[in-house]
Chain A
Amino acid sequence: MRYVVPLMISIVIFVLLLDIISFKYLDKTSENLNKMLTAVQQNIEKGHWEEAKKNIEKAEKEWKKIDKKWAILIEHREIDEIEINMEKLKSYVETKNKDLSMAQLKAIKMLIRHIPQNEKPILENIL
């Protein structure tokens, strides 16, 4: 019986720490990715398609670095969704379609921003 209370406390602390660390990681990486996508957005707005393509490749590289770690923390369905939308964006940029690429870009940004929000331990998420 002597180990029950310490075990309980250590499990709670472990969950708390894991939550804080994973939330911070998701928040930081998603912000990073969002910044890269904002650069792409500016390129598209100005009609610099070649720049936009390069920036998308950069963002994709960054995404490849983090997606495996994200897979440990969030639902895989969400990761798949981001990947599908990324591919769509790439082809829209290649065909230089401004309207569609802007719409696609905003959708990806929303998806990425939405993920750390979803992991926040607030009442709305708990219920």
Chain B
Amino acid sequence: MLILFFRTLILYALVVIFMRISGKQQIGQLQPYELVVAIMIADLVAIPMQNKGIPLLSGIIPVLTLLVSQLFLSYLSMKSLRARAIICGTPTILVENGKILTSQLQKERYNINDLLEELRVKGYPNIADVEYAILETNGSLSVIPKSNKRPVTPQDLNLTPQYEGLPLPIIIDGRIMHQNMQKAGIDMEWLNEQLKMWKIQNVKEVLFASLDTNKVLTVYRKEG
């Protein structure tokens, strides 16, 4: 029992390390060669995890080999444009100037229902509103609407909104982020005063507090 427990722990740690090294791409949108690795890893690790007769190394070595090959391919696709086109493919335009390119749809084995479904998901139920639809290399569809159908931006209304910047988290889960306080140029005295205004005695009561660029502190209390 414990043998299986430890074997699972070791292999799990290995896969977690693998995922961290192979980059953030891995988690969200997979390129074809990354998807292959993800599928293979699941199988490679599962077998030695449960079969004590197989040495752990025969699970570890293939995973390391895959890691090396994946790093090599991603390095290659980063350095060379041609290699990138071969390894990841190129984006395909499915709708151009409001016209559906059926030959491209056929080439990608993407039927009209798939296209309509993706467009609906992206918030364009009417295909007439779409100027461009591009099938990206990771399989997601980018939609560029006709200019009269896109949401209004402040620029359209000739407005110049105030600079917003990024709000800084000051307290997370009852812990003060001193580094962020330094960045924002506030001290403990100021923070305590603000917390008093929110009727908070102890920092531990705070789930999250953030400071926006106008030096306004917003506090979210813990429940109960």
Contacts and interface: CB of A to CB of B under 8 A. Distances in A.
B5 interface: yes
A127 B2 contact: no
A75 B97 CA distance: 65
Contact of A127 (B1, B5, B53, B57): B57
Interface string A89-119: 0000000000000000000000000000011
B95 to A, nearest CB: 46
Contact of B2 (A16, A75, A118): A16
Main secondary structure of the interface of B (DSSP, over half): helix
A126 B56 contact: yes
A121 B6 contact: yes
Interface string B28-46: 0000000000000000000
Interface residues of A, number: 12
A75 B52 CA distance: 9
Interface string B7-24: 100100000000000000
A127 B53 CA distance: 10
Given A15-B1, A121-B2, A121-B3, A127 B55 contact: yes
A22 B1 contact: yes
Contacts of B7: 126
B30 to A, nearest CB: 29
A126 B3 contact: yes
Interface string A11-39: 00001101100100000000000000000
Contact of B5 (A15, A22, A75, A118): A15
A125 B1 contact: no
Interface string A69-87: 0000001000000000000
Contacts of A19: 1-2, 5
A26 to B, nearest CB: 11
B22 to A, nearest CB: 25
A125 B56 CA distance: 10
Given A15-B1, A15-B2, A119-B3, A125 B52 contact: yes
Given A118-B52, A121-B6, 8 more contacts: A15-B1, A22-B1, A75-B52, A121-B2, A121-B3, A125-B52, A127-B55, A127-B56
Interface of B: 1-3, 5-7, 10, 52-53, 55-57
